[in-house]
Amino acid sequence: MSRIEFFHAPHTRSSGVLALMEELGADYDLKLMSIKAGDQSREDFLAINPMGKVPTIRQGDAVVTEQVAVYLFLADHFADAGLAPAIGDPDRGPYLRWMAFYGCSIEPAVIDKAMKREPAARATSPYANYDTVMAVVNQQLAKGPWLLGERFSAVDVLWGAALSWLTGFGLVEKTPAVVAYVERYQARPAVQRAAAKDAEWNAAQEAAAGNG
């Protein structure tokens, strides 16, 4: 079977996938990119992901893009790590629900709010409205410790990484439930290893660009 190639740029949405790789103990070929240097717009990368976005995964000719698909794919591929409830497991449905909720509801809601864009009418909007999204998220996180209760899974890496940057940029309110969840996520050794790698790569890219 072909090896997994991971196209990653430090301090971006692919940083969560880097943390997932650490959590999974995954073996992969790193393709390090710099957003500032414009690597995402290079022809050779656009031939793989015409959206010019990270995270991007390639295994042989199979390309996986979009965070939710990437997390699902990797957690299933490295199933021995136990971060993906299997088909038939009662946690599988809620696991898929919170994966999809991320891409379909919280990201569009938060970006619309940050850009001060009025959401579409409730009946048409994919996420109802921002306040409803955040109320539902907070209610779930307050049950804790993880989105599936006691069971930590790949969906927590997606949400932990996202809520880290969303609260960091002030795009999501730091409620007690959100803060406690982010703290639990950031305390994980795998997440800390990924953050250290990312910081090192980011510093190297800055130095190469003459900003170091």
Ligand X SMILES: N[C@@H](CCC(=O)N[C@@H](CS)C(=O)NCC(=O)O)C(=O)O
Binding site for ligand X (CB under 6 A): 12-13, 35, 40, 52-55, 66-67
Q: What is the distance between the alpha carbons of residues 11 and 154, in angstroms, rounded to a whole number?
A: 19
Q: Which is nearer to ligand X, 51 or 135 (CB)?
A: 51
Q: Which is nearer to ligand X, 11 or 184 (CB)?
A: 11
The nearest distance, CB 169 to ligand X, in angstroms, is 11
Q: Which is nearer to ligand X, 53 or 197 (CB)?
A: 53
The nearest distance, CB 66 to ligand X, in angstroms, is 4
The nearest distance, CB 34 to ligand X, in angstroms, is 11
Q: Which is nearer to ligand X, 114 or 142 (CB)?
A: 114
Cα first-last separation, the chain:
40
Long-range contacts of 34-41 (CB under 8 A, 24+ apart): 34/9, 34/10, 34/205, 34/208, 34/209, 35/9, 36/205, 36/209, 37/205, 37/209, 39/9, 40/9
The nearest distance, CB 62 to ligand X, in angstroms, is 16
